[in-house]
């Protein structure tokens, strides 16, 4: 069986960044899948489920309500390896096109105050597995170490 593309990326070279993981034609449209890599695979600890779950709730809420991209957001959610998140957008985009959107998203998470949207037993199947303080810590780290001064090599998968 052929490996899927995400398993062909050299995870020894992969660093935190914003990457186009794939582009898929869907009818007359294109769906762009982004790899929002937030930790260095196999070099540092992965994110715990509580903060990753909190980031998912906050980012999905922010992105789906965004005035320019809200109607283009198909999915935002965690990678199984817990080193980042995937964002699927309707449209043909490059990584550099969405850095401002991802920056806005993580500033929203950094600055968020209050109850996490959807973190109730009625709205979520694991509503108690949340950690807003750690989600904010990770958001600050991603902003300061990656997004605010993103380098070109953090926008294209390594060879």
Q: What is the CATH number of the domain that holds 26?
A: 3.30.1360.80
25 within a domain of the structure (yes/no): yes
Beta carbons within 10 angstroms of residue 140's beta carbon:
14
pLDDT at 8: 85
Residue 153 has pLDDT above 90, yes or no: yes
Name the region of 14 (left: φ>0; alpha: ψ -120 to 50; beta: rest): beta
pLDDT at 93: 98
pLDDT at 29: 96
The total number of structural domains in the chain stands at 1
What are the structure tokens assigned to 128, written together? 């108690």
C-alpha to C-alpha distance for 28 and 43, rounded to whole angstroms: 40
26 phi and psi, to 5 degrees? -135, 105
- State in Å, rounded, how far the first CA of the chain is from the last one: 22
Q: Which residues contact 146 (CB under 8 A, 6 or more apart)?
A: 16, 17, 18, 38, 154
Range of the domain at 102: 5-154
pLDDT at 4: 78
80 within a domain of the structure (yes/no): yes
69 within a domain of the structure (yes/no): yes
Average pLDDT rounded to a whole number, residues 42-53? 96
116 within a domain of the structure (yes/no): yes
C-alpha to C-alpha distance for 84 and 38, rounded to whole angstroms: 5
91 within a domain of the structure (yes/no): yes
pLDDT at 7: 83
Question: What is the separation of C-alpha 148 from the centre of its chain, rounded to a whole number of angstroms?
Answer: 15
131 within a domain of the structure (yes/no): yes
159 within a domain of the structure (yes/no): no
Residue 5 has pLDDT above 80, yes or no: no
pLDDT at 122: 97
pLDDT at 89: 98
What are the structure tokens assigned to 67, written together? 């005035």
Residue 125 has pLDDT above 90, yes or no: yes
Average pLDDT rounded to a whole number, residues 99-112? 98
Of 123, 119, 144, 121, the closest CA to residue 131 belongs to: 119
Residue 44 has pLDDT above 90, yes or no: yes
Average pLDDT rounded to a whole number, residues 32-60? 97
Condensed to tens digits (0 to 9), the pLDDT of residues 57-76 reads: 999 999 999 999 999 999 99
Strands (E) located in 4-66:
17-26, 29-37
């Amino acid at each position: 069986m052929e490996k899927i593309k995400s398993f062909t990326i050299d995870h020894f070279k992969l660093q935190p960044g914003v990457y186009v993981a794939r582009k898929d034609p869907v009818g007359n449209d294109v769906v762009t899948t982004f790899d929002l890599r937030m930790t260095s695979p196999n070099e540092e600890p992965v994110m715990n489920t509580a903060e990753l779950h909190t980031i998912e709730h906050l980012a999905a809420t922010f992105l789906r309500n965004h005035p320019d991209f809200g109607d283009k957001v198909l999915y935002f959610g965690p990678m199984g390896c817990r080193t980042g998140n995937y964002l699927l957008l309707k449209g043909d985009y490059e990584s550099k096109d969405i850095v401002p959107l991802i920056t806005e998203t993580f500033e929203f998470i950094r600055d968020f105050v209050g109850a996490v949207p959807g973190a109730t037993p009625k709205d979520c199947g694991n509503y108690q597995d949340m950690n807003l303080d750690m989600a904010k810590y990770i958001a600050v780290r991603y902003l300061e170490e990656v997004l605010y001064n993103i380098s070109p090599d953090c926008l294209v998968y390594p060879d």
